[in-house]
Amino acid sequence: MTVEEYLHGMDNALLLIDTAKIVHIIELMIKARGEGATVYTFGNGGSGSTASHFAGDLAKACNMRAFCLNDSVPLVTAWSNDADYKVVFERQ
């Protein structure tokens, strides 16, 4: 894949984003911050790293209560070992 093909693909992907949904999510996040609610993030693999980074950004830059469920490695591995990996986020 060439750089041009990659960038063309990115352009096409960006056009598919429903901006109304993004605005709605932003509104929910602003409401959560105003109410002092906690935002929970989680992910698997690379998405777990993104979720962790996002929670940190929310806490630092947006002064929000945010917690990433996959940051507790002992808890994630305990639930996956003792119950099932399918419940590691649900049980938290």
Is 29 in the same domain as 45?
A: no
Is 50 in the same domain as 64?
A: yes
DSSP 83: T
Q: Residue 2: which domain range?
A: 1-36
pLDDT in tens, 10-52: 999 999 999 999 999 999 999 999 999 999 999 989 999 999 9
Q: Are strands 65-68 and 38-41 parallel, antiparallel or unpaired?
A: parallel
Is 49 in the same domain as 86?
A: yes
Whole-model pTM: value is 0.75
Instruction: Give the residue among 82, 80, 61 at the shortest CA–CA distance from 69.
Output: 80
Write down the residue that tokens 């992907």 correspond to.
13
Count of domains for the chain: 2
Is 76 in the same domain as 53?
A: yes
Is 67 in the same domain as 46?
A: yes
Q: Check residue 29 and give its pLDDT.
A: 93
pLDDT in tens, 54-92: 999 999 999 999 999 999 888 888 888 888 888 888 888
